[in-house]
Structure 1
Amino acid sequence: MDQEKVNILLVDDQPAKLLAYEVILKDLGENLVIASSGREALEVLLKTEIAVILVDVCMPELDGFELAAMIREHPRFQKTAMIFISAIQVSDIDRLRGYEMGAVDYVPVPVVPEVLRAKIKVFAELYRKTRELERLNHELEDRVRARTAELEASTAKLRESEQRRSMAIAAGKMGSWDWDWISGDWMWDEGQYRIFGVSPEDFEVTPASVQALLHPDDVDQLRKAIAEFNKGTRAYETEFRIVRPDGEVRWCVGTAAATMDESGRVVRVSGVTVDITERKRAEERQNLLAREVDHRAKNALALAQSIVRLTRADEVKAYVNAVEGRINALARVHTILSLSSWQGAELSRLIDEELAPYSLGGQIKLAGPEVQLLPATAQTLALALHELFTNSAKYGALSTRSGRLAIGWQVDAERLTLSWEESGGPLVKTPKSRGFGTRSLLASIESQLGGQAQFDWRAEGLLCRLEVPLTRKSATTATGKFDTAGAAELQRASG
């Protein structure tokens, strides 16, 4: 099935350069939209959904920086990817200014066609995936709303049915009561006592004793009902909470009807109480699920955007492979977590997923107990393991058939210690500087999880030791905190 094309906006005041960009990007198969000035670009944005904006920094009347600032001010375009093209030498201050204005990347002139195509392709795909996640989220919200509507309709039917029933209900989660408005006498059936968590032998039904069992925030409902009946109201219905003697809070819906004498004066009020606690809890779980799905979708996008922005490579193919590898690692751990309803993931399962392409000829040995990881810990460790496996396959023990890799782990005092030991591969030299993979691994383990990462570049092979806390209290950066804390740490790691 052909994927839907996205719109890419090309902004430059020179027709020749616009033509060149069209020729370079034609093979992507996307819709290319042309604008010869900043103002024309703004008009296009207001009429068209744009996935990526390619804009020249130096333009008359409205330059690229000013255009980016105006675009970011509009709520619709606050997350639209913008790539700046500059024909002059861009200083660090200019780059910083551009990133502050919302640019996601710079492309110098002369433009390398392959690089430009690769960058545009990555952000176009990210836009497509973002829209797909939004669509799935909307579908889930629609299902939740439909389910809620079904529950509300079911409740309405239940209320109608109960109004037609006899006031003497003595079964299930329903109870009936009768209040002599003149004498003040009360009558409760067995179901009413059961709902309130009291017994006929120990509980005397009086206005004061009943009010004592109502939730403090709902006492006014009783006063309002009495006032309504005094005004001539014949029926009244409301939802309220009770606090049982053991402290348990229950949700109820109460329906009351008044009996009048010939003069129109209230002489008796009878009613039915239905315990709807389970329905309320089900609605809360559904609302929580909807919020959680929305939250995790945004979180995944924030992590993917950080990977795309911070990955570095000397050539296009290496850049694409690095981005795809890291995003695939993230996708694999998300699949594992989804199978457990985001309760956690087994460490051995994460390792199996990452080592699958490399387990040839018994080169890899594993040793360790079963360990259940929290979702945030599992995500971070999955990306860390991906960096270690990738580095080993390129330069370390897994780059040769003679190489060996031993991975062991143990748990002590709610702290996981994982050792990575390579041997038999190419001669190892201590690197003069740390690459992005190593720096991001350190940032994620130490800053996100509050753990430690140690590297020993031995001549016979890399020895790496990772220590991370396993308790929820220690692993404070749960899934909801990556997009702020985690992205910031990776930004610093990228140098």
Structure 2
Amino acid sequence: MDHEKVNILLVDDQPAKLLAYEVILKDLGENLVIASSGREALEVLLKTEIAVILVDVCMPELDGFELAAMIREHPRFQKTAMIFISAIQVSDIDRLRGYEMGAVDYVPVPVVPEVLRAKIKVFSELYRKTRELERLNQELEDRVRARTAELENSTAKLRESEQRRSMAIAAGKMGSWDWDWITGDWMWDEGQYRIFGVSPESFEVNPANVQALLHPDDVDQLRKAIAEFNSGTRAYETEFRIVRPDGEVRWCVGTAAATIDANGRVVRVSGVTVDITERKRAEERQNLLAREVDHRAKNALALAQSIVRLTRADEVKAYVNAVEGRINALARVHTILSLSSWQGAELSKLIDEELAPYSLGGQIRLAGPEVQLLPATAQTLALALHELFTNSAKYGALSTRSGRLMIAWQAENDRLTLTWEESGGPLVRTPKSRGFGTRSLLASVESQLGGQAQFDWRAEGLLCRLEVPLTRKTAASPAPGKFDAAAAAELQRASG
């Protein structure tokens, strides 16, 4: 049988003996390494892996005992087999000394070839088996280490996967459950308890208790699902509502799958519950917003149509300017309302937008607290203020640098009072008839807002007083299309 050769070190100061040892051991088929002195043997040992050392006890300078002692001091050679050859009769004390130095056997001279070969062969095989065992042990340790690392990695991945699952369930408001169809036993995870607003300590999971948490209008869906599983359905999904113990209603989507036995009978149903309340609310808000946008768009278009149809002017240019001014006023208040998500508008911001083209040289003064206006109120007041600013710039205080305008307002008992006071402008005369701007202002404030508009045409300047409710829902929330039809009718009567 082929095997890896081992190195056998032969140490003797006499060449003839070394040659004899080579002849005797040649048939073993091992590598024979020659050293003619103890020091040469040490050099060989440091460079070569030796299985067995055959050393002569009697050598000059460094005898066998001294060599053995030096060999054993080195950690690499503490277990290397050494056989002493002695040409003299050794006593028991010498043998004991040899064994203490690390010898494993003695061979007397004359050497019996068969005996020497047998001894060398035994220790060579022992060395080979020992190395093989060490190799196998190392391989085993490597495999165990690799397997351990693999298991640790697998465990870490499993733990990480479970953590991700738990995080996903928590973040996604999910829960899982398991129902033993035969025994009726239920199993809920933490997410399931959280969705239903109950705790494992105080809530017993059973059909009666679970049904008690379902919305009364959705109980039939549970019965339907059970019936479908009994009739062969293997998977089921539905949306349903639950009523938590604190009274809160939550929307959920449930998915369930059945496990069947060899006979095709349902033995277990497992499922996942997802809390979709926020999604449902978002859908409701989106639908409401879509209806609101549609309503507001119709209102804005109807109001713009009324402005275009009812504006009067002697020239095309004057007509275009008037229409553009009123449409721009409507656009400005629309921008303010959009920034507040149509929750309302601050009166001061509304006035600032309208007076921006006229605020020159400190002619205009404002005084009043912060007042929040409803969207419809803001739209109507924006158009009213636009008409007042336009008329003042054409005929009143803002038509000359000496003119002054004071706008003051206050809010008491949910009612806004705004005073427009001009002075220092051209001499004012009471008009023989009301223009479209004045008539539309009166119609919108009084009809649409349920307020009042009073004009005092004083010689030193116009004094206008507007009173409108702050909380009354007038044109703010009519049915789609109704608000601006009424506005158009009022403006039509005003223009008549």
The normalised TM-score by structure 1 is: 0.64
Q: 1:131 to 1:266 in 2, by over 3 A?
A: same
Larger CA Rg, structure 1 vs 2: 2
Choose 390-399 or 96-105, whichever is displaced more. 96-105
Change (3 A) 1:493 1:275: same
SS in 2 for 1:258: strand
What is the CA distance between 1:171 and its match in structure 2?
7.7
CA offset digits 1:4-61 (Å, max 9, x no partner): 9999999999999999999999999999999999999999999999999999999999
Distance in 2 of aligned mates of 1:393 and 1:109? 140
Deviation at 1:227, TM superposition (A): 0.8
1:474, distance to aligned residue in structure 2 (A): 5.8
State the SS of the aligned residue for 2:169.
Answer: coil
- Verify the 8 A CA contact 1:144 1:290 in the aligned structure 2: no
Q: C-alpha separation between the residues in 2 aligned to 1:471 and 1:200? A: 48
1:293 aligned residue = 293
Q: How has the CA–CA distance of structure 1 residues 18 and 309 changed in structure 2, closer, same or farther, with 3 Å as cutoff?
A: farther
Over the matched positions of the two proteins, sequence identity in percent amounts to 94
> Helix, strand or coil: the match of 1:103?
coil
**Is the 2:198–2:245 Cα contact (8 Å) retained in structure 1?**
yes
The alpha carbon displacement at 1:65 in A equals 139
1:432 Cα deviation from its structure 2 partner: 2.0
Secondary structure of the 2:168 match is coil
- CA separation in 2, counterparts of 1:407 and 1:46? 109
Could you say if the C-alpha distance between residues 456 and 336 of structure 1 is closer, same or farther in structure 2, counting changes exceeding 3 Å? same
Whether 1:480 aligns to 2:493 is no
Residue 159 of structure 2 is aligned to residue 163 of structure 1: no
Shift of 1:130: 97
Q: Is the 8 A contact 2:298 2:481 kept in 1?
A: no
CA distance in 2, matches of 1:360, 1:284: 48
- State the aligned residue count: 495
1:84-99 equivalences under 5 Å are none
- Can you list the C-alpha shifts for 1:106-136, whole angstroms capped at 9, x where unaligned? 9999999999999999999999999999999
The CA deviation at 1:293 is 2.6
* Structure 1: unaligned runs, 5 residues or longer: none
Is 468-477 or 5-14 further displaced after alignment? 5-14
Match of 1:490 in 2: 491
Over 3 Å counting, the alpha-carbon distance change for 1:72 and 1:271 in structure 2 is farther
Cα distance in 2 for partners of 1:437, 1:349 equals 22
Q: 1:375 to 1:395 in 2, by over 3 A?
A: same
Which moves more between the two structures, 433-442 or 281-290?
281-290
Post-superposition shift, 1:405?
1.0
Give the whole-Å Cα distance in 2 for the aligned partners of 1:109 and 1:313.
145
Distance change >3 Å, CA 317–CA 471, structure 1 → 2: same
Q: 1:42 to 1:427 in 2, by over 3 A?
A: farther
Per-residue CA deviation, residues 159-184 of structure 1 (Å, 9 max, x unaligned), is 99999989997886221222222222
More off after superposition, 386-395 vs 478-487:
478-487
Following the alignment from structure 2 to structure 1, what is the Cα–Cα distance between the partners of residues 284 and 102? 38
- Which deviates more, 307-316 or 153-162? 153-162
SS at match of 1:417: strand
Distance 2:95 2:320 in 1: 23
Q: CA deviation at 1:368?
A: 0.8
Q: Is 1:416 equivalent to 2:429 in the alignment?
A: no
Deviations 1:408-440 (A, max 9, x none): 011111211100011112222222221111111
How many Å apart are 1:203 and its aligned residue? Answer: 2.1
> Within 1, Cα distance between the matches of 2:420 and 2:495?
23
| Whole-Å separation in 1 of the counterparts to 2:183 and 2:264 | 17
Distance 1:431 1:91 in 2: 153
Confirm or deny: 8 A CA contact 2:235 2:255 kept in the other structure: yes
Greater mean deviation of Cα atoms: 150-159 or 376-385? 150-159
Structure 2 residue 277 is the aligned partner of structure 1 residue 274: no
Whole-Å separation in 2 of the counterparts to 1:98 and 1:340: 104
Query: What's the CA shift string for 1:127-163, capped at 9, x where partnerless?
Result: 9999999999999999999999999999999999999
The alpha carbon displacement at 1:377 in A equals 1.0
The question of whether the paired residues in 2 share the 8 Å contact of 1:214 and 1:241 is answered with yes
Write the distance in 2 (CA, Å) between the matches of 1:67 and 1:282: 92
Farther off after superposition, 430-439 or 75-84: 75-84
Offset, 1:454: 0.8
SS at 1:274 equivalent: strand
**2:408, 2:419 within 8 Å by CA — same for their partners in 1?**
yes
Q: TM-score, normalised by structure 2?
A: 0.64
| d(CA) in 1 for partners of 2:317, 2:84 | 21
- C-alpha separation in 2, matches of 1:455 and 1:283: 48
CA contact (8 A) 2:347 2:372 kept: yes
8 A Cα contact 1:469 1:475, kept in partner: no
Q: Which residue number corresponds to residue 198 of structure 2?
A: 198
- Over the aligned positions, Cα root-mean-square deviation in angstroms equals 42.2
